[in-house]
Structure 1
Amino acid sequence: MTFAQLLFHLANFVLPALTMAVFMPLAGRWVMGTAAMGWQRRMLCHAVAGTLVLAAGLLLQGHDGRMATYVVLVLVSATLEWALHRGWRR
């Protein structure tokens, strides 16, 4: 595997987490209104949490791309957005 192929493979591995990181702050504002934290920091939190979920799914299941991992990614992203909006106060 060449270095370019490795970079391409890693980029495709984290692409679902980065896509969720971009869209969750927008969806959170649409559903829950404004948040106490800025959208850049929320996007960073989602990117880190999503990448950790994908890495854990790879380690636990043996290979990436399983639907169970993507379900957990969506649940973690939604829960994180709720927590960043301080949803328990509403």
Structure 2
Amino acid sequence: MGPLDIVNHLLNFAAPAAALALLLTLFRRLIGAKAAASLPWWRHAAAVFGVGIATLLVGVVVWGRDGKMLTYAALVVACATCQWVLVRGWKA
């Protein structure tokens, strides 16, 4: 496998976490409290993206391969929980 193939595989691996992080960041005002503005959008996206990548890596380690639906379900739950913590959802 060449270097371009490796980059392509890594980008495709990170794409679900990146998409979810950007969507949650864009819609944080709709689903969050007023505290959502206290964190800059890029730090918010970076935190959710980091949680997403960590979840995907755990899925690869546990099941030995990428693309399991249970891993993607865990990705959604982990990113939603991170979103809830970042917008201080317990205070809403």
Q: TM-score, structure 1 length as denominator?
A: 0.93
Q: Is the 8 A contact 2:48 2:82 kept in 1?
A: yes
Residue 80 of structure 1 deviates from its aligned partner by: 0.6
AA of the residue aligned to 2:47: C
Name the residue aligned to 2:41. Answer: 39
Structure 2: distance between partners of 1:29 and 1:76? 19
Structure 1: distance between partners of 2:39 and 2:22? 15
Paired residue secondary structure (2:19): helix
Structure 2: distance between partners of 1:2 and 1:28? 39
Residue 40 of structure 1 deviates from its aligned partner by: 1.1
Q: Does structure 1 residue 76 correspond to structure 2 residue 51?
A: no
Name the residue aligned to 2:5. Answer: 5
Residue 33 of structure 1 deviates from its aligned partner by: 4.2
Give me the identity figure in percent. 34
Q: Deviations over 1:28-65 (max 9, x none)?
A: 21122441212111100011111110011000011000
Unaligned runs of 5+ in 1: none
AA of the residue aligned to 1:12: N
Name the residue aligned to 2:56. Answer: 54
CA RMSD of aligned residues (A): 1.1
Structure 2: distance between partners of 1:50 and 1:23? 13
Q: Does structure 1 residue 85 correspond to structure 2 residue 87?
A: yes
Unaligned runs of 5+ in 2: none
In the TM superposition, structure 1's runs of 4+ consecutive aligned residues that sit over 3 Å from their partners are: none
